[in-house]
Amino acid sequence: MRIGIDIDNTLTDIQQDLNNAAYMYATRLNKHLDLKNLNLIDKNNDGNIYQKAFGFTDEELKYFLKDIQENITTNAIPRKGTLEFINKLHLEGYEIYIITARDSEFHDDPYKQSEEWLKKNNIYYDKLIVNARNKGKVCKEEKVDLFIDDNINNCLDVKKYGIKAICLNAINHHEDKIPIFDNWIDIYNYIKKTKENKTYDYVLQLGFDKQTEEIIQNIKNTLQEKGVIDKEKNWRPHITIDLYICDNENLFIKYVDEIVNDIKILNIEFKNLNNFDNKTLYVEPFSKNDLYIIKDLFDRGLNKFRLETRKNKIYQPHVTLCTNDDLSRALIISKDIFKPFVGKVAYLWIYNPHVNLIKEYSLNEN
């Protein structure tokens, strides 16, 4: 998942400092101030909030934003929880895009200013984007999956582009369409809960050569011809490695790419049939050591993407023939046609839950 995050009042908490500084600056300029009517919501991300509230001229506004505000933002400390939870998201496989409306009109070098602040405060990010007044458009162009901002109007704009948004500390606002939180702990927990409610994004499978696949598929076809209902999805014969959660397909593939070169073609002996709780009938590998080694490679390399509910399960490599509430007939039919054979594992497949093949790897010879 690619997460876009604003800087000012999202990574930081400076609104009150800005308000006080603007008020003091306006006082020095002898502006007429009506504090009851101050509406400090920068809808356009261009400082118009202060011009309207304090009656600044264009030149006065530029001075405030370039000198006074920039001094505050440069010396701001991260909001509580910012460093901890952004780094946790990064380590869990999320991409972090910093997207700020700081622009060249009011700052000499908004990119350098933002870059130096992020570096100084040890905040991880994959990409920094400035001049982002239209954050919805920017998020769409950058393929952001979720955006976090303190401005409810920015969040609503992002949502118009079909992108999820979270509002942080939207004071005096209530918006049913946008989740609103006032701290990073709740935002992190919300992101994790949303992710954990998903079943899975990818399944990693070991696939067979044509001859082995035909042997297994023949048993599956015979069961279907004899009226045995198979509740499993229409997968090709395979050995499942595991299920994974990762919203960023390119990132997931990158991790798999780094592991797959260590896997060679396997010859596996299949001597018998077995079943799980009389509900899943399968062909059982006789020797599983090589398969356990492969499983361990992926467990270590893809640990951040593994489903928590599966981490404590004992891995039992198998080739499913049929899933049914009562396998009595399936067992009888299968035993009549099954003969021990040696199969060849020749491929690694990445599938999504819709049985769409994402990528196929041909394994190397020993």
Element (H, E) at 21: helix 15-28
Tokens 């492969």 map to which residue?
Answer: 294
Q: Does domain 2-196 have CATH number 3.40.50.1000?
A: yes
CB 98 within 8 A of CB 7: yes
CB 41 within 8 A of CB 18: no
Nearest CA-CA partner of 223 in 317, 319, 327, 325: 327
Q: Which residues of the chain have pLDDT under 50?
A: 36-37, 39, 44-46
Q: How far is CA 333 from CA 102, 150, 178, 214, 341, in A?
A: 70, 63, 55, 17, 18
Q: What are the structural domain ranges in the chain? A: 2-196, 202-362
Element (H, E) at 260: helix 249-260
What pLDDT score does 59 carry?
A: 81
For residue 263, give the amino acid letter. Answer: I
CA 201 to chain centre: 10
Beta bridge partners of 167: 149, 180
> Degrees (nearest 5) of the Cα angle 101, 188, 199?
115
Domain formed by 202-362, architecture: Alpha-Beta Complex (3.90)
> Degrees (nearest 5) of the Cα angle 257, 258, 263?
85
Instruction: For the chain, give the longest Cα–Cα distance.
Output: 97
What tokens were used for 215? 């042997």
The torsion angle over the Cα atoms of residues 170, 57, 101 and 119, rounded to 10 degrees, is -100
Instruction: Give dist(CA 46, CA 61) in Å, integer.
Output: 10
Tokens 């990818």 map to which residue?
Answer: 202
User: Helix H segments across 134-242?
Assistant: 135-141, 152-160, 184-196, 210-225
What pLDDT score does 317 carry?
A: 97
What tokens were used for 153? 């109007």
What pLDDT score does 36 carry?
A: 47
What pLDDT score does 65 carry?
A: 75
pTM, whole model, 2 decimals?
Answer: 0.54
Running DSSP on this structure, what letter comes out for residue 183? Answer: S
What tokens were used for 9? 């009042």
What pLDDT score does 188 carry?
A: 93
Instruction: Give dist(CA 38, CA 36) in Å, integer.
Output: 6
What pLDDT score does 114 carry?
A: 93
The torsion angle over the Cα atoms of residues 174, 175, 178 and 184, rounded to 10 degrees, is -10
CB 223 within 8 A of CB 322: yes
